Amino acid sequence: MEIIQTGIKDLVIVKPQIFEDARGFFFETYNEKRYKEMGINANFVQCNQSKSCYGVIRGLHYQLAPHSQSKLVSVTVGKVFDVAVDLRKNSPTFGQWYGVELSEENKLQFFIPKGFAHGFSVLSEKAIFSYMCDEFYAPQADRGIMYNDPTLNIDWRIPTENAIISDKDNKHPLLKDAELNF
């Protein structure tokens, strides 16, 4: 397993060790001891999965403290562009985002610590997206930032006319107006 730094403190890409032969492949999607040795100290309590079609943009989502979540995300089918935005007010990278392509081919994982907003766009015909969280979903703490906030200027790699956005995600505030407590 290899940890790839993103340039934003605590936000890392995990490149698992893949064992392949004529039968296919095998890799550990999570091993608490190994991940803790690599600096990922989240105690995951919930695992979620979503299926989406090409053009879907989900996000940017987060939960307020004390319900904020760290997430370990990956793709089992298809390909997505995954994005995390630093919302930690005292961070030197506050308001900066980092994106990484996650796919069934590259098998990369993205560790997103507490204090970040998260979203992704689907670049393949369909994608099955998996994410482990270290806190349970808390609807009273659920918040978001507008996916197309001009101050963030995220290139979701989806033409505007092909973007599929939920009603909820179309109503999120801009970063400058978002409720933050990190």
- Read out DSSP for 1-70? -EEEE-SSTT-EEEE---EEETTEEE--S--HHHHHHTT------EEEEEEEETTBEEEEEEE-TTS---
What spatial distance separates the first Cα and last Cα of the chain, rounded to whole Å?
30
- Note the pLDDT of residue 154: 98
- Note the pLDDT of residue 98: 98
Among 61, 118, 147, 172, the one annotated catalytic: 61
Question: Splitting the chain (182 residues) into consecutive groups of 10 residues, what average pLDDT does each group show?
Answer: 96 95 93 93 96 98 98 98 97 98 97 98 98 97 98 97 97 98 94
Q: How far apart are CA 100 and CA 32, in angstroms?
A: 23
- Note the pLDDT of residue 125: 98
Contact 104, 75 (CB under 8 A): yes
Active site residue 118: no
- Note the pLDDT of residue 103: 98
* Amino acid identity for residue 67 in this structure: H
- Note the pLDDT of residue 159: 96
**Closest residue by Cα to residue 62 from 138, 3, 155:** 138
> Does the predicted model carry a pTM greater than 0.85?
yes
Q: Is the dihedral of CA 50, 168, 162, 11 positive or negative?
A: negative
Active site residue 62: no
- Cα three-residue angle 75-111-4, rounded to 5 degrees: 95
- Note the pLDDT of residue 83: 98
In DSSP terms, 181 is beta-bridged to none
Q: How far apart are CA 108 and CA 15, in angstroms?
A: 5
Q: How far apart are CA 13 and CA 5, in angstroms?
A: 7
What architecture is the 2-177 domain classified under in CATH?
Answer: Sandwich (2.60)
Contact 182, 114 (CB under 8 A): yes
Within 10 angstroms of residue 139's Cβ, the number of other Cβ atoms is 7
Scan for tokens 């100290």, then name that residue: 41
- Note the pLDDT of residue 140: 98
Among 35, 62, 98, 131, the one annotated catalytic: 131
